[in-house]
Structures are given as C-alpha cells and as structure tokens.
Structure 1
Amino acid sequence: MTAADHIALQWFVRGVGTLDPEDRRAFDDWWAADPSHAAAWARWAEDWSQLDALPAEGLQHLRHRLAQDKARAAAHRPWGSPLRFLTGRLHRAWGRPTFALASLCLVVASGWLGWSHWQQQPVFVQTVATGFGQQSEVQLPDGSTLRLDTHTRLDVTFRRQRREVILPEGQALFRVQGDTARPFDVVAGPLRITVVGTRFSVRHTPGVPGEEGVRIAVEEGRVRVARSNAADPTAVVELTAGQQVSSNAAGVLGPVAAVAPAGIAPWRDGRVSFDDTPLSQALAEFERYGASRLVVRDASVAALRLTGTFDPRRLDNFMRALPKVLPVQLRTQGDTTEIIAAPLP
C-alpha cells in the first residue's frame, strides 16, 4: 500500500463532505499536489462504493465508530495510527492489492456488524397476561390491538425493522396495523405467523388435551404460516379471510379449512364452541376459565362427542343442558359433580 493509498483512506474515514474549512483546504492541497493522489482516491472510491448499500444513518454510525477506534489506537499505540500498523502487517503478508480488499472487508464487516446490532436493539418491550377467567385488550404503540382470552401470555418486542409477539400459552385476537416496512410476526410453539395488516386469531394451548398444537384463523387480510425452524420454503401456508389451519404439537400443518360459523374467536363474546368434540376435551376447555368442579372418570363417557356453544362463566346452564344432548346424568358429591352414563331405558 502506497503512502497515497494510505492517506486517501484516512480522508475517506473522516468524510470529506463533513470537513471544516481549514481541513477542506488541506484536503484540496493534498489532492492537487500529485496526480497519484487523485488515482489513489479513485481506487478507494471504487472499493468504497460497496458501502452504498448501507442506509445513510448506518454509514454515519460506521464513520463515527471508525474515528473513535482510530483515536483510541493513536492514544495507546506507539505506532500512532492503527491503519499504519495494519498496513505494514498486511502489506508484508499479502501485498497491496490483497490488502486493499482485506481492508475494505474488515471495514465493511465491522461496520455492518455494528449497524446490524443497532438495528436489532428493541425499541419497545412489553409482557401482557391474563389470569383464569380474565380477558384483556391492549393497544400497542404502532396502533395494533391485542385481545387476550383467559390464561394467556404474550411477550411483545418491537425492533426498528420488525415486530414480534411470542405466545407461550393461551389464545389471542390480533388486529395488526399495516406497515410494509415492519412485518408483524407471531411465534406460537413451533409455528411463525407473518402478516402486514389484518385481523386474525391464534391459539396455542399445549396443556389442553386435544389442543396441543396451534390453530390460526383469519377474519380479514392475509397471513403466512410456517414452521419457525423449517428450512423448506415450500412448507408454508397462506390464509385469507374466512380460512383457518391447525397444526399438531410438532408443527405439522393440517389442511386449510373454512372458519367455523361461530367465527375466529367466539371467546371474545364470552362463548366457547365445540364441534364434535370429546366431552373430556370440552371439560378441559372450561378449566381454562376457572375451576369447573366437573369430573368424568368413565372412559366411554369421556369419549362422547359434544357440539354446541356455551358460556364458560355460566356452568349451571351447561350442566342443565348436558343431559339433554348426551346420554349422561350428573351426580354431585360435596363440591364435585361427576358426569356418569345415564341408565339404559
């Protein structure tokens, strides 16, 4: 690396467009002093053009970091300039052409890592949760709205280029404010749901028998559903309004189906709906809203299929209706009610 190359790189690091009048005159004098200076500048200009992909804010951040590194090195190293030391080491090892490329790679890599780290820093973090029998609605800074059902937790993280909500357990209704520059992701168990602007529901209740997987239903707009750890880009399902899909606990997606007549989230109106659901699974669903004190010990009774819509906060109505729709009767002992098979006529 020639002295002209070295000095040209120094000027690039400083940023000629930001020089004060005195330093600008010094740069102009250096430029005019020898034709080799302009040639060195042109070589670095060609290499430096690779940094054009960085946003302006990121480029300014990079220059600031490089200037800081140079100042620290000059204050603590006997060679006075980190570039001069690095120039000598790499020039002896590889020669000037390889040094120019290596120098640029080092600058680009360190600058990009710094910029990428800055981009990934959260700008908003919030955890919201509901207890048994509770529901809650939360508005996010971007205008999106989250409606949480009972026994649900959401971890919200916004970054500069993306928005993410993690649903460890429960079910929620999402009304997402459109922002094409910042997609909105919901991570539920093994699945990632990506949207720009829409209204949809996600259920992830691994502790409920028969509901260990994830269910996504769309009311408005479009969402993309994929396994969060899948490398196969074809393992993706796109849902539009009126469609839903479910997965098992491992994230294997089932067929796309129409949303049930009860809608994507009947729980927002204080209802739970069952469609040919085993009685044991229906009772587990009621337990999400509080202690039902309903038990079933007979496996054949537990396997009976139930269809209907009920208010989980009014179990007395459910208990009165149950013997009318299934061949069962209720036997109460203390504060527990057992559901048993009705006697044969």
Structure 2
Amino acid sequence: MNQHDTIGHTVDLDLVAASWQVRRQDGLTAQEEAQFQAWLALDATHRQAYARMEGVWSGLGELHPTAVAQLARAVPARKKPASGLLRLATAALAVCVSGAGWLGWDHYQRQPIFHESFASARGELLDVHLPDGSVMKLDTATRVEVTLYRQRREVRLPEGQVMFSVRHDSQKPFEVLTDTLRVTVVGTRFAVRNTHAGFGQAGEAVTVEDGRVRVATAGSASAVELTAGESVQANRAGALGTVDTRLAHGALLWREGRINFDGTPLAQAVAEFERYGDTRLVIKDPIVAAMRVNGSFDARLAADFGSALPLVLPVRLREQGGVTEIVAAGKPAK
C-alpha cells in the first residue's frame, strides 16, 4: 500500500469512526451498541480512529465560526453525510488527517503575534506605542499587559490608569480587562481606571473622550454603551453605576500631570497625591478627613497642596515626627 492509499484508508476509517461518534451522541439501541463494540474489537486501528474522533469532538464546540465554515467546505461532495453534525465532524477529521485540521488552525489563531508588559514608576507618566498603531498613556504606578492576536487585541490592567487612543480596525476588537470590567472598542479615545486608592478607592471607572465603548462586568451578560463625554463607575463588587453624561474637563487632567478635585473628601485627595509620591501628609481626625476640597493641582507638588489647605479649609498643619498632620483649625496644639 503506497502513501496515498494509506492516507485514503485512514480518512475512510476516520469517517466511519465519526459516524459512530455522532450515532452514539444520538443514542444507540442495544443491537447497535453491540455492533459498535464488535467494530471496535475488530482491529486496533478502529479503536485508534475512534479515540481520534473523541478528541476532535470534545473540542468542536470551541471552534471559531470561520473555521466551522472552512471545515464545512472541506468535505468532498460525495462524502457529505445527511446529518449536519456528522458533516461537521467528518469535515474536521478529513482536514485533520490531511494536515490542515481545525486543531492546528485554532492553535494558530490563539497564538499572540505580540505580547509585552509595561509599567510606569511612581510619579511617572509613560507613553506606549503599540504595533497596531494604538497609543497608551500610563498614569503613575500603572501596570498593563498587552497581547495582540490575529483577530483581536487585549490589554489587562491589574493596577493604575490608562488613556487609550485605539487605532480603528473593525476586524480586530480592542478589549481592556480590569478586576471586574471588560471594555470593548474598535477605535476611540477613552480612559480606564483600576486603583485602590485616591479616586479609585470606591471602584473602577471608564471615561470616553471620543467614540464609543461597551462596558460589561465579569460574568454578566448586561452591559452599557458609552459615547463621547460619558463615564461609568463600578464598585468593588463589580456592579455598574449609572452613566454620567456630564464629563468634566478635569476628569482627564492627569494626562497633563495635574490632579483635579471637585468636592473631593480631603482624605481621598491626599491618597490621590500619594499615588504620585510621598506627601508626608496624615489625617487622623475623621471630621477633617471628610472635608471637601476643590481645585486643580500639580501632581508633583504635594507640598504646595498641603500649604494651600489652611487657606481654603478650616484646618491647620502640625509638624511632628517627620510628617505633617492636618488638624481642625480649632484643635489645640499638643
């Protein structure tokens, strides 16, 4: 038997195994089960063929729709069975045996064409240009993992804040994954925040400057769509809040190295400064911590922020032990 005959024999045997696999999925009578067992026992190659079929069948449900179409076209017309499932199974086998099976195709599609991790230091803003033409601006103390595939683009944001300018490509959706959120876009400018201090202590946030994005929480089929000027927050449990349609200019000032406060609790404001560097500012009094602060400040000048507080709030600064405590103005010195 030459090589061509061997390949043809293997394909025919696999088609028989495919037929048994589909029939067993539908349920066999006692007589049919006996026939199947007899077929298995007839030759070791029968058992091997059926084992191959089981392996293909177990992964068939994960096949990409494009591959399904390719496989459906791969079976010669004379070998197309009546059952749609059987046709797909035999197509998979026929292509597998010929060396271009869906397993290889699926593995090929799953392989990244680019993978890199990026991180900004505390107090640093970092611009990253991706091979697809997209640009990321990393805020202070931010970590991202970028993976580009042939059919999609993915960024994981375990910590920090990033402004994305996504290169439009309708064939390759761009996704950003945080602890609880999945943000999907094609081409737009938007920011995603996932921090546990400062503004982000209450949860994660997505802000859209241009275009449209889809925001969903992990494990949920529900999602919201944001357009330019809109934002949404999710609490630490992953529940999405209402869409805010009044995006203030100050929400994205961090790209210029500035922090904007708009009725922000003082403790949260100090924590936001701490993301950029040591402030040496401490608050022990919960009444002081809850005081609201407004204004735009240079993220690198925490000392100036502290010095300005007594001018805008009923507080004073008390130096002790190498730190500066912010206390109520009427509180006696110790």
Q: Structure 2 length normalisation: TM-score?
A: 0.72
Counterparts of 1:170-319 in structure 2 under 5 Å? 170-208=160-198, 211-230=201-220, 232=221, 235-319=222-306
Cα distance in structure 2, aligned partners of 1:253 and 1:310? 29
Asked which structure has the greater CA Rg, the reply is 1
Structure 1 residue aligned with 2:89: 105
C-alpha spacing 1:104/1:163, structure 2 compared with 1 (3 Å): closer
Task: Name stretches of at least 5 consecutive residues in structure 1 with no aligned partner.
Answer: 1-69
Structure 1 residue aligned with 2:36: 93
SS in 2 for 1:170: strand
Q: Deviations over 1:268-317 (max 9, x none)?
A: 11111122111111111111001111001111111111122111211222
Runs of 4+ in 1 over 4 A off after TM superposition: 70-75, 84-92, 94-104, 207-210
Instruction: Choose the corresponding residue for 2:126, options 112, 119, 136.
Output: 136
Q: Deviations over 1:32-61 (max 9, x none)?
A: xxxxxxxxxxxxxxxxxxxxxxxxxxxxxx
Cα distance in structure 1, aligned partners of 2:84 and 2:307? 83
Cα distance in structure 2, aligned partners of 1:249 and 1:319? 30
CA RMSD in angstroms, aligned pairs only: 3.0
Cα distance in structure 2, aligned partners of 1:204 and 1:210? 6
Give, as a single letter, the amino acid of the residue that structure 2 aligns with 1:335.
G
Deviation at 1:229, TM superposition (A): 1.8
Cα distance in structure 1, aligned partners of 2:195 and 2:236? 10
Structure 2 residue aligned with 1:23: none
Is the CA contact (8 Å cut-off) linking 2:183 and 2:216 kept in structure 1? yes
SS in 2 for 1:266: helix
Cα distance in structure 1, aligned partners of 2:297 and 2:15? 76
Structure 2 residue aligned with 1:167: 157
Q: Deviations over 1:140-178 (max 9, x none)?
A: 011100000100011000001000101101001000000
Cα distance in structure 2, aligned partners of 1:72 and 1:324? 89
Cα distance in structure 2, aligned partners of 1:86 and 1:344? 86
Give, as a single letter, the amino acid of the residue that structure 1 aligns with 2:303.
D
Percent identical pairs in the alignment equals 48
Cα distance in structure 1, aligned partners of 2:228 and 2:83? 57
Structure 2 residue aligned with 1:340: 327
Cα distance in structure 2, aligned partners of 1:100 and 1:299? 68
Q: Structure 1 length normalisation: TM-score?
A: 0.70
Give, as a single letter, the amino acid of the residue that structure 2 aligns with 1:200.
F
C-alpha spacing 1:71/1:254, structure 2 compared with 1 (3 Å): farther
Cα distance in structure 1, aligned partners of 2:11 and 2:314? 86
Deviation at 1:249, TM superposition (A): 0.9
Give, as a single letter, the amino acid of the residue that structure 2 aligns with 1:299.
P
Cα distance in structure 2, aligned partners of 1:276 and 1:190? 27
